[in-house]
């Protein structure tokens, strides 16, 4: 068995707010490996390097417990469009991070708004980011029409919700990074 000081620990964190960044600190004397999932973040540490990993076995969609009974079709369409846009745009964005909101007209009047975030580890390549987000996108398809879903993998995560979980001024203009914007 290796002594603690002989184990090289690699640490990575996905976080969405400055407040979370302040709370997360690199721990000393960590042994083994761990993936920690918070509501909107992932902390991962292992005793070997993993910076170039994008997808690993065991990745799944983490679905919410509530479905969207009213306007489910409009909600599903809005989520699929937004997640597809995030999947395509995020690997092209410096820093591999994007937050978006998508609004669709609901049958019978009114609008449905969905919110989403995609992020890849900065240590993966653009193609690795795209590959990871494609897997995450596929994993989230089984969550619809749940009100929220998350997919976490070694190199990325993708999340959607019918409730905003970021400030309005934190959204990313995805148009320049989509085919119709180039």
| Residue 76 DSSP SS3 | helix
Question: Is residue 154 assigned to a domain?
Answer: yes
Question: Is residue 83 assigned to a domain?
Answer: yes
- Token pair belonging to 22: 């302040």
Question: Is residue 52 assigned to a domain?
Answer: no
User: Could you tell me the pLDDT band of residue 168, with boundaries at 50, 70 and 90?
Assistant: confident
Question: Is residue 141 assigned to a domain?
Answer: yes
List CB contacts of 99: < 8 A, sequence separation 6 or more: 115, 116, 117, 166, 170, 171, 172
| CA–CA gap between residue 110 and residue 114 (Å, rounded) | 14
pLDDT greater at residue 148 or residue 25 = 148
Question: Is residue 110 assigned to a domain?
Answer: yes
Give the total number of structural domains in the chain: 1
Question: Is residue 47 assigned to a domain?
Answer: no
Question: Is residue 114 assigned to a domain?
Answer: yes
Model pTM score:
0.72
156: domain CATH number? Answer: 3.30.430.20
pLDDT in tens, 11-40: 444 444 444 444 443 433 333 444 444 444
Print the domain residue range for 123. 60-178
Question: Is residue 67 assigned to a domain?
Answer: yes
Please state, for a pLDDT cut of 70, what percent of the chain lies above it: 66
């Amino acid at each position: 068995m290796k002594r603690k000081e002989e184990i090289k620990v690699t640490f990575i964190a996905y976080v969405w707010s400055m407040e979370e960044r302040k709370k997360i600190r690199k721990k000393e004397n960590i042994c083994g490996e761990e993936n920690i999932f918070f509501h909107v973040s992932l902390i991962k540490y292992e005793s070997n390097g993993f910076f170039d990993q994008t997808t690993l076995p065991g990745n799944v969609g983490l679905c919410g417990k509530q479905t969207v009974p009213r306007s489910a079709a409009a909600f599903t369409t809005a989520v699929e469009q937004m997640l597809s846009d995030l999947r395509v745009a995020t690997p092209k964005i410096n820093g591999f991070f994007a937050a978006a909101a998508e609004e669709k007209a609901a049958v019978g009047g009114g609008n449905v708004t969905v919110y989403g975030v995609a992020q890849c580890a900065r240590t993966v390549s653009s193609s690795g980011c795209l590959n990871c987000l494609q897997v995450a996108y596929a994993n989230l398809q089984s969550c619809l029409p749940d009100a929220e879903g998350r997919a976490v993998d070694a190199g990325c995560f993708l999340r959607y919700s019918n409730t905003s979980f970021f400030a309005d001024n934190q959204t990313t203009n995805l148009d320049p990074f989509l085919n119709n914007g180039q």
